[in-house]
């Protein structure tokens, strides 16, 4: 159960690259890394999930909490480069209707 979270700031935008599995064991590490970004004024967060091989409901909960915090602080949250499996997971749960999701990389995220 390995998870790597890398955060880069490009001006006002935070680019977060996540790699590994997001589950009950690793979700707290992800939450600890990204929630502070959402608590800044007008956060602009792009999360690249290209290298996430697995996510369970605990991981989805992290993104719901992140979205609530981002919205409370007047910001934007974008998820990019989701695998077909992750896109399907967000779609089935209805989260793709409330979170901006793109299968393509945007804003210089690689």
Residue-wise pLDDT tens digits, 86-99: 999 999 999 999 99
* CA gyration radius, the chain: 12
| Phi, psi for residue 11 in degrees, rounded to 5 | 65, -125
CB burial of residue 2 (10 Å; 0-12, 13-18, 19+): exposed
Query: Using one digit for the tens of pLDDT, what is the confidence trace for 63-83?
Result: 999 999 999 999 999 999 999
Q: Which of 10, 16, 3 is nearest to 78 (CA)?
A: 16
- Domains of the chain, first to last: 3-82+89-102 (3.30.750.24)
pTM above 0.85, yes or no: yes
């Amino acid at each position: 159960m390995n998870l790597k979270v890398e955060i880069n700031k490009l001006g006002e935008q935070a680019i977060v690259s996540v790699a590994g599995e997001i589950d009950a064991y690793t979700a707290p590490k992800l939450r600890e890394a990204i929630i502070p970004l959402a608590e800044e004024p007008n956060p602009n967060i792009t999360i690249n999930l290209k290298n996430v091989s697995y996510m369970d409901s605990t991981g989805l909960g992290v993104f719901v909490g992140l979205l609530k915090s981002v919205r409370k602080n007047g910001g934007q949250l974008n998820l990019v480069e989701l695998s077909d499996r992750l896109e399907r997971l967000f779609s089935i749960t209805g989260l793709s209707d409330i979170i901006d999701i793109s299968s393509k990389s945007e804003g210089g995220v690689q």
